[in-house]
A and B are shown apart, each in its own frame.
Chain A
Amino acid sequence: MKSKRLLSLALALSMCLGLAACGGGSDPTPAPAESKAAEPAPVESKPSEPAVALSPVEEAIQKAQGMTLAELEEAAKAELEANPNLTFNADSLTSGVKKALAKFEEKYPWLAGRTAYNSKKGSEYQPKLTAAQKADSYIADFVMIQDASFLKNAMLDTGFLLSYVPQGADFNIAPGDQNPLVGVTFNKVFMYDNTKVGADQLKNVWQMTGVDGASLKGLSNVSYQNPLGEDINMNFLIMLTSPESCDRLTKAYKSYFGKDYNPADDEVTYQNIGYKFVAEFIKNVGYWHSSDTSEVKAINTYADDGRIIFAGLCKLKDYEYYKDEYKDTPQYYTNTISAAGWNNDVEGFDGFVYNMWTLIPKTAQLPYTACLFINYLMSDEGFHAGWGGILGYYSGNQNIPTVEGDPALSVWKEQCVVEDVEYIDSAYASTVKFINMQLAGK
């Protein structure tokens, strides 16, 4: 109940500030937190409620949204000066935040030595967040997390994580991405060393079931991170059974096999074509890697047919480390690597798109600094400090273009399966059981 009111309040606030909050309802793919607000009735009545229920952090966020950048900088500075013993703590599992934070500190001299970055993997960080939420304790001033379902159910519905939305002409954030605020979007796609697999080999997702199609051959040697160890990979498989994915798969099926999908042809009864794909895909995975990073690093060391690796497109950045030495050699990734959606179009889908949200805990001690930092991260300068020049990172601020050669986020969202908390929540129990059964080879 409490959370509902908070959400509505936040929404109401954005309305008061003249934002296109009402647009949230009409958005075709509403962001998770907004879904509740999509019930129109309470929205109108809420603004009349007194704002006394606001916590100091909510109040600060509300004020910050009404400030100019200069005012916000002033407020953050004042806040830090008033609390000389506090450090601005930013928690995130992506090192981009670390880089951006360093630049952020450089930009504002009064922040020197007052910031700290904590790196935590999702599965390690979620218990921390849960514990802090349960105890209503301080955890950090800024957090950046993934996993839509956890965010919605454990953090937004409980009112623990709050969104600050940067204002002004520099920011063009889709209404559906505002509450919660999407900081950076990632994608995981199929990639391979095209000197081994063949440059244009992957054309249709059904190739990845290993079955030969009408004109294309099935591909083996798919390498996929074990979904039992990596939630994103589990979520991707779950999302493949969604109605939207089924449409994609049905179309691709037709073009691959040259005929319509007919469930009666299957020996096994699948709930839908998504289940069928998941089952056959899992059977066809030849190699379950344990780390995307090391797998992509070794992408051109595999002999024979190489491997088709499902991993974050951004992992290609690891080639940056020795690009000076290898730029002119065939080992440099731009010369030899094909990635779905990047330099190779695949029928069906290219991969999976999921968000990383930038939020402020209700118990933050330096809320204005947090707002200022989010403002910075969402700006062109901040995004570049953290993720600039690298494939596979997309800012929630649509004004920021992607790196050269990388399609725009909107294109990716069209070509990929997108994480949808509503579907994951509704289908989790049965899909995961199904996936577990496939993983056990039954």
Chain B
Amino acid sequence: MSQLNKKRTANNVKSYLSKPANLITILFLVILILTVVIPLFTLLIGSFKVNGNQEAIYIMQEGVEDGSFTFHHWTELLTSKEFDYASIKFWTPLAQSALMALLACVVAVGFGGVVAWFITRSDLPGKKFISTVFVFPYIMPSWSMAMFWENFFKNTSINAGMGILQSVTGICVPESMVYGLVPCAMSLGLHYAPFAYILIGGILRNMDANLEEAATVLKASRAKILRKVTLPIVFPALVSTVLLVFSSSISSFTVPFFLNKSSINSGNNFISISVQMRSLINTGFTKGQGYVIAIVLMIFSIAILTLNNWFTGKRKSFTTVTGKSGQVSLVKLGKARKPIAIILLIITAFFAIVPLVSFAMESLLEVPGDWSTFTLRYWISTEPFEGSNKGDTIGILMSKTMWQAMGRSLLLAALVSVFAGTFGLLIGYAVASKRGSKLATLVSNMAFLPYLIPSMSFGAVYLALSYTKGFTWLDGSFFLLFMVGTIKFMPFASRTGTSAMMQLSGEIEEAAIIMGVPWRRRMTKVLFPIQKSSFISGYLLPFISCMREMSLFVLLAASYTTLVTTLLQEYSRTGLTQASNAINLLIIVVVLIIQFVVNKLTGASIDKGVGG
């Protein structure tokens, strides 16, 4: 009997694993536990122990030394009344940052969603241009938008130098428009608007027009259709967008740090929770408290993620490709066609192209704003600069180091995108073919976690690993960067992959299974081609994110694995801001070119069909 049972179990396991979806689920469960859960635990443990001698000094308790267990980080940060510490360091920034993140969501979803609707559902002219240009801000690093915001709105009335707006129109906006919570929310919102556009646009594009037409036939007004039909259908995409924008915004460091320059008395001074976290983690005395914030931020995001799952689970609102096709028709805008197009064109161009122009300008002027100091030397000069290594020149285009770093970054981004994209696709496949399976949902949720772990702490865990005996070969290696990048950027791909796969009805694959089409052929000949543009977005998003990522790699890259972003930082630290602006511009241009080529070759682009 037990013999039979054993055999049965063995056979069950064998037959379980013989299904690709099961095998993928188990494989990724293991990979994700190793690469995601362990770092998470390290963070969690870090919040309950004394991290180093400095913390022991800070805590100043009998018997507390490096490594000992303590609740102090939590109690101190969450409850300390000394100088109002808990309120000032944690609760107020948390509340304000949540407000900022929500505002950013409103801006992103509002702006991105409206444009998505016009592009996918209406006969707006100039669509192609708008949809191409609209995603630019997402390709730029998030702080570029903040920098642009400051450069545009700053004015002499607040003693911040003359900004573009003032020099063109003479208008001085109040300080609260230049620094503080609102500008932070606006910059982040504008940066992530393309994201909303991609996600919501994907759903709208695939949405059966009959749904809207059915309502039109029933004589529902356009507003009512939008409210009662369109919005509920895109709701899951909205929730997804809010989730991603919210968690990115609330943990964004550069933007709130950059736009927090006004005096404390002005009332515009805004210290975000992420700035507090960074300041805590960067000091040896309070690392544990920083980990507490990191964990709280993750709990926030996980709560939203759960809500998101609950919503998408409750309403099976993935529009599905069943193999039964319907037609798509566009809403006629009539007389409003041209004015709307012009307005959108202006707004889009303003936030997408003007920042690029301002980068270009800054890279060409010796003294910011002073055209008499125009120079090309930060682009083409072959002089070495202070502290330059062999091969470094002031002109970035002439610098061998720059080109090497660019090449390395491109290679890294390409590898990361291939692996992260494929992993995401496979996870999406596993989740979709095992719809409702708890294990598959767990894997899919775990694949999303790296998105929520702050880059710096994520990097720090891998740094510690690379110094551990047996893993020292990882230290500073390209492989380490590749590994960390793949894991960190997998959430984009797994999200895209999952929604794309979920849109395919199971029958599509089963029809091929019955015909004896092997798994690999099913993937490459049936599933992939149907959702090609979505999947390629799943490859492009990690590519772009990887190209512009800095804080994750800065800890891990060594001199022989310099990336173009770490080089950018080095230039800017050396004081060559013009050169760093030039590199920034160059990165954006390179990404755009690659996106353009991919678009021409495959017909897919990041602005197309991420969906759900």
Q: Within the complex, are A and B direct neighbours (CB within 8 Å)?
A: yes
- Bound together, the chains give a CA A307 to CA B460 distance in angstroms of 37
- Bound together, the chains give a CA A358 to CA B46 distance in angstroms of 30
- Bound together, the chains give a CA A158 to CA B56 distance in angstroms of 14
Q: Mark B260-294, 1 if CB is under 8 A from A, else 0.
A: 11111101010100011011011111100000000
A226-B555 in contact (CB<8A) = no
Interface positions of B from 478 to 523, Cβ below 8 Å from A: none
Interface flag for A302 (CB, 8 Å) = yes
Interface flag for A334 (CB, 8 Å) = no
- B89 (CB) vs chain A CBs: closest residue: A436
Chain A residues near B469 (CB, 8 Å)?
135, 137
CB distance from B147 to the nearest CB of A (A): 10
B159-A303 in contact (CB<8A) = yes
Partner of B467, one of A131, A297, A430: A131
- Bound together, the chains give a CA A163 to CA B406 distance in angstroms of 38
Interface flag for A171 (CB, 8 Å) = no
Chain A residues near B575 (CB, 8 Å)?
293, 297, 315, 317-318, 321
Interface flag for A82 (CB, 8 Å) = no
Interface positions of B from 225 to 276, Cβ below 8 Å from A: 257-258, 260-265, 267, 269, 271, 275-276
- Bound together, the chains give a CA A132 to CA B466 distance in angstroms of 9
B283-A231 in contact (CB<8A) = yes
Interface positions of A from 118 to 137, Cβ below 8 Å from B: 118-124, 126-128, 130-132, 134-135, 137
Q: Mark B152-176, 1 if CB is under 8 A from A, else 0.
A: 0000100111100000000000000
CB distance from A35 to the nearest CB of B (A): 14
Chain B residues near A321 (CB, 8 Å)?
575-576
B279-A228 in contact (CB<8A) = yes
- A315 (CB) vs chain B CBs: closest residue: B575
Chain A residues near B572 (CB, 8 Å)?
291, 293
Interface flag for B14 (CB, 8 Å) = no
Chain B residues near A128 (CB, 8 Å)?
463, 467, 555
CB distance from B322 to the nearest CB of A (A): 51
Q: Which of B105-113, B365-373, B587-595 contacts A (4 or more CB under 8 A)?
A: B365-373
B577-A302 in contact (CB<8A) = no
B460-A127 in contact (CB<8A) = yes
Chain A residues near B92 (CB, 8 Å)?
440
B275-A228 in contact (CB<8A) = yes
- Bound together, the chains give a CA A381 to CA B465 distance in angstroms of 39
Chain A residues near B282 (CB, 8 Å)?
122-123, 126, 231
B285-A429 in contact (CB<8A) = yes
A132-B467 in contact (CB<8A) = yes
Q: Mark A136-151, 1 if CB is under 8 A from B, else 0.
A: 0111000000010110
Contact A287 B263, CB 8 Å, known A95-B386, A98-B387, A302-B161:
yes
Contact A298 B257, CB 8 Å, known A149-B285, A318-B575:
no
Mostly helix, strand, loop or mixed at chain A's interface? helix
Interface flag for B83 (CB, 8 Å) = yes
Interface flag for A425 (CB, 8 Å) = yes
- B156 (CB) vs chain A CBs: closest residue: A303
- Bound together, the chains give a CA A436 to CA B269 distance in angstroms of 13
Partner of B83, one of A126, A134, A325, A433: A433
B467-A139 in contact (CB<8A) = yes
Q: Mark B380-411, 1 if CB is under 8 A from A, else 0.
A: 00000011111000000000000000000000
B162-A442 in contact (CB<8A) = no
CB distance from B319 to the nearest CB of A (A): 45
- A147 (CB) vs chain B CBs: closest residue: B284
Chain A residues near B466 (CB, 8 Å)?
131
Interface flag for B82 (CB, 8 Å) = yes
B271-A440 in contact (CB<8A) = yes
A439-B271 in contact (CB<8A) = yes
Q: Which of A56-64, A278-286, A339-347, A367-375 contacts B (4 or more CB under 8 A)?
A: A278-286
B463-A135 in contact (CB<8A) = no
- Bound together, the chains give a CA A99 to CA B570 distance in angstroms of 14
A301-B559 in contact (CB<8A) = no
Partner of A117, one of B53, B286, B389: B389
Chain A residues near B576 (CB, 8 Å)?
321
Interface flag for B75 (CB, 8 Å) = no
Chain B residues near A119 (CB, 8 Å)?
559, 570, 573
B159-A289 in contact (CB<8A) = no
Contact A285 B83, CB 8 Å, known A123-B282, A229-B257:
no
B464-A131 in contact (CB<8A) = yes
Interface flag for A257 (CB, 8 Å) = no
Interface flag for B216 (CB, 8 Å) = no
Q: Mark B47-64, 1 if CB is under 8 A from A, else 0.
A: 000001110011010000
Interface flag for A79 (CB, 8 Å) = no
CB distance from A162 to the nearest CB of B (A): 17
Q: Mark A222-234, 1 if CB is under 8 A from B, else 0.
A: 0000111101001
- Bound together, the chains give a CA A117 to CA B80 distance in angstroms of 43
A442-B467 in contact (CB<8A) = no
Chain A residues near B368 (CB, 8 Å)?
298, 301
CB distance from A112 to the nearest CB of B (A): 10
Partner of A153, one of B53, B278, B367, B472: B53
A287-B555 in contact (CB<8A) = no
Interface flag for A294 (CB, 8 Å) = yes
Contact A304 B159, CB 8 Å, known A131-B467, A132-B467:
yes
- Bound together, the chains give a CA A304 to CA B82 distance in angstroms of 40
Interface flag for B560 (CB, 8 Å) = yes
- B51 (CB) vs chain A CBs: closest residue: A130
Interface positions of A from 417 to 442, Cβ below 8 Å from B: 425, 428-430, 432-434, 436-442
Contact A293 B467, CB 8 Å, known A98-B387, A153-B53:
no
Contact A149 B472, CB 8 Å, known A231-B283, A434-B83:
no
Interface flag for B215 (CB, 8 Å) = no
A288-B261 in contact (CB<8A) = yes
- B275 (CB) vs chain A CBs: closest residue: A228
- Bound together, the chains give a CA A96 to CA B387 distance in angstroms of 6
A428-B285 in contact (CB<8A) = yes
Interface flag for A398 (CB, 8 Å) = no
Interface flag for A68 (CB, 8 Å) = no
- B470 (CB) vs chain A CBs: closest residue: A135
Interface flag for B177 (CB, 8 Å) = no
- A154 (CB) vs chain B CBs: closest residue: B52
Q: Mark A197-231, 1 if CB is under 8 A from B, else 0.
A: 00000000000000000000000010000111101
Q: Mark A147-184, 1 if CB is under 8 A from B, else 0.
A: 10110011001100000000000000000000000000
A98-B389 in contact (CB<8A) = yes
A228-B464 in contact (CB<8A) = no
Chain A residues near B57 (CB, 8 Å)?
153, 425, 428
CB distance from B378 to the nearest CB of A (A): 10
4 new A-B contacts at CB < 8 Å, known A116-B559, A137-B469, A440-B264: A116-B560, A131-B463, A286-B263, A322-B366
15 residue pairs of the A-B complex, CB under 8 angstroms, read: A98-B387, A102-B387, A116-B560, A127-B464, A234-B283, A283-B264, A290-B257, A293-B577, A304-B156, A315-B575, A317-B575, A325-B366, A425-B54, A433-B85, A436-B88
**Measuring CB to CB, which residues of chain B are less than 8 angstroms from any residue of chain A?**
52-54, 57-58, 60, 80, 82-85, 88-89, 92, 156, 159-162, 257-258, 260-265, 267, 269, 271, 275-276, 278-279, 281-286, 366-370, 373, 386-390, 460, 463-464, 466-469, 472, 475, 554-555, 558-560, 570, 572-577
Instruction: Report, nearest first, the 3 A-B pairs whose CB atoms are least far apart.
Output: A95-B387, A123-B282, A153-B53
